């Protein structure tokens, strides 16, 4: 049986979506194939300093992460596309309406409410809050998909 392909989407692919990608890979091992991208990503940017710092506190690394822009190939690859906000979901659906059936905000997919706030430019404490919110949601995601 093939692994579920999960694609996380945020704005720039330097904070929330790489954080979700790396945390899920750590928590779920090789159960899923996971990638991330940004709706407005500038390709080749490293993870933000705050993202790197909160991952290092968990003995995880973002060294290999380079941002990538959302493409049709990535959306085609994914079995499920999980966005960080409802606005991201709406933007993705307007760009790729044929993929609406597999596109959700992460919170709604795990039956929670609200968006995952963008820590970009904030202090490390804000990144830590985002990481903790993602850890909670990813725990629910793993339970739902396994």
Instruction: Name which of 99, 98, 60 is nearest 83 in CA terms.
Output: 99
Fold classified for 4-145:
Rossmann fold (3.40.50)
Tell me the domain boundaries of the chain.
4-145
pTM for this structure?
0.97
The span from the CA of 108 to the CA of 114, in Å, is 8
Can you list the residues of the chain whose pLDDT is less than 70?
Answer: 1
Q: Exactly one of 15, 16, 89, 115 is catalytic; which is it?
A: 16
Q: What was the pLDDT predicted at 74?
A: 98
What per-residue confidence (pLDDT) applies to 1? 63
Residue 10 annotated as catalytic: yes
76 assigned to active site = no
């Amino acid at each position: 049986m093939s692994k579920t392909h999960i694609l996380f989407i945020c704005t720039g692919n330097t904070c929330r979506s790489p954080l979700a990608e790396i945390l899920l890979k750590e928590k779920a091992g090789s159960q899923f194939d996971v990638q991330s991208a940004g709706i407005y990503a500038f390709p080749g940017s490293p993870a933000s300093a705050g993202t790197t710092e909160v991952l290092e506190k968990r003995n995880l690394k973002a060294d290999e992460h380079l941002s990538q822009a959302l493409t049709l190939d990535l959306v085609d690859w994914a079995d499920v596309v999980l966005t960080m906000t409802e606005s991201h979901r709406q933007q993705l659906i307007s760009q790729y309406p044929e993929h609406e059936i597999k596109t959700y905000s992460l919170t709604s997919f795990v039956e929670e409410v609200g968006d995952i706030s963008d820590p970009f430019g904030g202090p490390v404490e804000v990144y830590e809050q985002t990481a903790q919110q993602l850890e909670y949601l990813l725990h629910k995601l793993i339970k739902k998909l396994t």
